[in-house]
């Protein structure tokens, strides 16, 4: 599968690159960002996947989070895909910020007209890792995932739906129980239909309840002043309760004064890189 390099910038001794390719799953051109640490010049490194939130592209994380120094130090290849298919000419795809373009929600849609292109779950768990493993110096056996908001939801469900695939998972302000939030109800109805039992397959709080117990260490940071926490969109307490019941190790850190943006992410990103490095470099 042909990759077209869009940009290349030296950063902390490694290279931050952006590529474009034709996606088989999404049936459109997709971009992804990849950071190759200095270590990748001489050996295969672990791969850490970042999933961004609503309205984001592959650019937000690489320009705003300040992850490069820690990724360079720990020798991690960090991959950040886009958040949805783009330019598919689907009626309504650009009408709202929280559905359609920039809002793929990391599900495989089953409803018309979305089901042909909106297959972000398969893209991030299957197609993209296969592409990365084939073209870059990564160790396919050492892979972890993290994300923010919609992408935090994505990271949690990808890890929970694939026991053993990811060595670790973490999230910033994830949408933890989307079947109960207005964001989740809107996108799940649109992508998955009105049968609410099908929504649970993409809800971290429900997935935890049937998780078979292969080791997974979960770290979540949540700003206490996050408007979406206060608005009932994120519901971390429900997820923590489900993890506690299943005895799955989870740390939820409520961060005083922080809200939902990249200033919050940048503050704690090094902790998350360390969390993953502990397992990826073990």
Catalytic residue among 23, 52, 84, 149: 149
144 is catalytic: no
149 is catalytic: yes
Handedness of CA 132, 137, 138, 140 (dihedral sign): positive
Strands of the sheet containing 250-255, edge to edge, are 4-11, 14-23, 28-36, 77-81, 45-51, 138-148, 169-172, 218-223, 250-255
Angle at 135 between CA 129 and CA 139, to 5 degrees: 60
Catalytic residue among 226, 272, 275, 276: 226
- HSE (side-chain half, CA atoms, 13 Å) at 153: 29
Question: Please, is 279 exposed, middle or buried when counting C-beta atoms within 10 Å of its C-beta (0-12, 13-18, 19+)?
Answer: middle
221 beta partners = 172, 253
Say how far apart CA 282 and CA 278 lie, in whole Å: 6
C-alpha 187: how far from chain center: 17
Catalytic residue among 74, 148, 260, 276: 260
Please give the positions annotated as active site: 149, 226, 260
């Amino acid at each position: 599968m042909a990759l077209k390099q869009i940009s290349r910038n030296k950063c902390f001794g490694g290279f931050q690159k952006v590529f474009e390719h034709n996606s088989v799953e999404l049936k459109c051109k997709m971009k992804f960002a990849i950071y190759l640490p200095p270590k990748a010049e001489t050996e295969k490194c672990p791969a850490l996947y970042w999933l961004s939130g609503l309205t984001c592209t592959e650019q937000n994380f690489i320009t705003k989070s300040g992850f490069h120094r820690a990724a360079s130090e720990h020798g991690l290849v960090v991959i950040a895909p886009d958040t949805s298919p783009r330019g598919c000419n689907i009626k309504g795809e650009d009408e709202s910020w929280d559905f359609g373009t920039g809002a793929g929600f990391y599900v495989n849609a089953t409803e018309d007209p979305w089901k042909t292109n909106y297959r972000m779950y398969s893209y991030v768990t299957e197609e993209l890792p296969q592409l990365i493993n084939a073209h870059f110096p990564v160790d396919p056996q050492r892979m972890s995932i993290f994300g923010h908001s919609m992408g935090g939801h994505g990271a949690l469900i990808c890890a929970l739906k694939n026991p053993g695939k990811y060595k670790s998972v973490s999230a910033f302000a994830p949408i933890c129980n989307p079947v109960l939030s207005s964001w989740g109800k809107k996108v799940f109805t649109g992508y998955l239909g009105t049968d609410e039992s099908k929504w649970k397959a993409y809800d971290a709080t429900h997935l935890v309840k049937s998780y078979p117990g292969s080791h997974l260490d979960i770290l979540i940071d949540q700003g206490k002043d996050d408007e979406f926490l206060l608005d009932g969109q994120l519901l971390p307490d429900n997820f923590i309760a489900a993890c506690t019941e299943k005895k799955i190790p989870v740390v939820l850190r409520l961060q005083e004064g922080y809200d939902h943006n990249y200033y919050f992410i940048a503050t704690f990103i090094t902790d998350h890189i360390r969390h993953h490095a502990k397992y990826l470099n073990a």
